[in-house]
Amino acid sequence: MAAPIKVVVTGAAGQIAYSLLYQIASGAVFGPEQPVYLHLLDIAPMMGVLEGVVMELADCALPLLVGVLPTASPEDAFRDVAAAFLVGAMPRKEGMERKDLLSANVRIFKEQGQAIDKVARKDIKVLVVGNPANTNALICSKYAPSIPKENFTAMTRLDQNRAQSQLAAKLGVPVKDVKNVIIWGNHSSTQFPDASNAVVTIGGAEKPVPAAVNDDEFLRNTFVSTVQKRGAAVIAARKMSSALSAAKAASDHMRDWFLGTGDRWVSMGVVSDGSYGTPKDIVFSFPVTTANGKWKIVEGLTISDFARKMLDATGKELAEEKQDALDVCKD
């Protein structure tokens, strides 16, 4: 059995955390041989609720869970942690865009970046889930200059999982038989879910998804807008934002980053190096592969004129969000 690692979940008394904590503590993220010590951060008024979550974790009697620290102190929460799930932030309500949350949420990520910089392990892996996730991740990284910027990522895995599921349904195949669908850009309604390089296994043979679907109109319109608007559709139905699927996606993201993807592509918001003509120094979702705890952008993909327009639109939105966030953080 490996030595335990410390893992922090923020927003630990909230609804995503309620599904996520079990997945982390049961071994679904860091593997069945990796004990974890959970640090649970929430705000002071939520400490009573958090106490109930701590009781429930104890009552799960999970062999890999070696300890739990509930706290309202960012410095206690981030001390010596190897992995951080930054979930704690306000969710949007019906009729809002995720970027409408920026002024309310971005300061949380400034403060947490500063705490990470001070007390976390220098090889910490940070996944930002709280919206607007890409820009919050950028701000968190900016306020943690002693940690490599590659260690800050934003979650677009839920969009990837949604896209994969939509394609599997269209093709009438199990979801595991669809791979390499890409989410480009922002976790917002400008994101570009791109099936042009996706592959499906049908009757034991791999086939490009565009050929198997054979419906360009569907792939450019219905598919793209269904995935772009799926979060809003869940809010309209549940009157609360996605939680079960968001927790599953957060687990998928961190597991793949820690344990590796092989040659399978996954989408992650990462600090852009300008790949594929995107603006540098924004957190942009790219297709990546991971190995030995590091991600690498998939290179050499052809970008069609249609894709170019979509990448430019989502990149422009992220550049604007970045400016707005920097203005808020000046105060």
Interface residues toward ligand LMR, by CB under 6 A: 91-92, 98, 131, 158, 231-232, 234-235, 241-242, 246
Q: Which is nearer to ligand LMR, 246 or 325 (CB)?
A: 246
Q: Which is nearer to ligand LMR, 155 or 212 (CB)?
A: 155
User: Quick check: 185 binds ligand NAD (CB under 6 A)?
Assistant: no
Query: Min. distance of Cβ 11 from ligand LMR in angstroms?
Result: 13
Known catalytic residues? 187
Closest CA to 6 of 62, 72, 66: 66
β pairing state of 125-128 and 152-154: parallel
Among 43, 96, 104, 169, binds ligand NAD (CB under 6 A): 43
Per-residue binding string, ligand NAD, 226-255, x by CB under 6 A, is ---------------xxx--x---------
User: Quick check: 219 binds ligand NAD (CB under 6 A)?
Assistant: no
Q: Which is nearer to ligand NAD, 8 or 310 (CB)?
A: 8
d(CA 176, CA 178): 6
> Are the CB atoms for 139 and 282 separated by under 8 Å?
no
**Strands (E) located in 176-317:** 178-179, 182-184, 192-194, 199-202, 205-208, 266-271, 283-291, 294-297
- Residue least distant from ligand NAD (Cβ): 14
Q: What is the DSSP string of 91-104?
A: PP-TT--GGGGHHH
Element (H, E) at 144: none
Provide the sign of the torsion angle of the four alpha carbons 99, 102, 103, 105, taken in this order: positive
Among 155, 163, 183, 311, binds ligand NAD (CB under 6 A): 155
Query: Min. distance of Cβ 54 from ligand LMR in angstroms?
Result: 26
User: Quick check: 164 binds ligand NAD (CB under 6 A)?
Assistant: no
Strand order in the sheet with 199-202: 178-179, 199-202, 205-208
Residue 120 contact among ligand LMR, ligand NAD, none, beta carbon within 5 to 8 Å by kind = none
Residues ≥6 apart with Cβ < 8 Å to 164: 175, 178, 179, 181
Among 7, 46, 83, 209, binds ligand NAD (CB under 6 A): 46
Closest CA to 103 of 93, 89, 117: 89
Residue 129 contact among ligand NAD, ligand LMR, none, beta carbon within 5 to 8 Å by kind = ligand NAD
Per-residue binding string, ligand NAD, 8-37, x by CB under 6 A, is --xx-xxxx---------------------
> Are the CB atoms for 107 and 325 separated by under 8 Å?
no
Residue 87 contact among ligand NAD, ligand LMR, none, beta carbon within 5 to 8 Å by kind = ligand NAD
Residue 144 contact among ligand LMR, ligand NAD, none, beta carbon within 5 to 8 Å by kind = none
> Are the CB atoms for 38 and 67 separated by under 8 Å?
yes
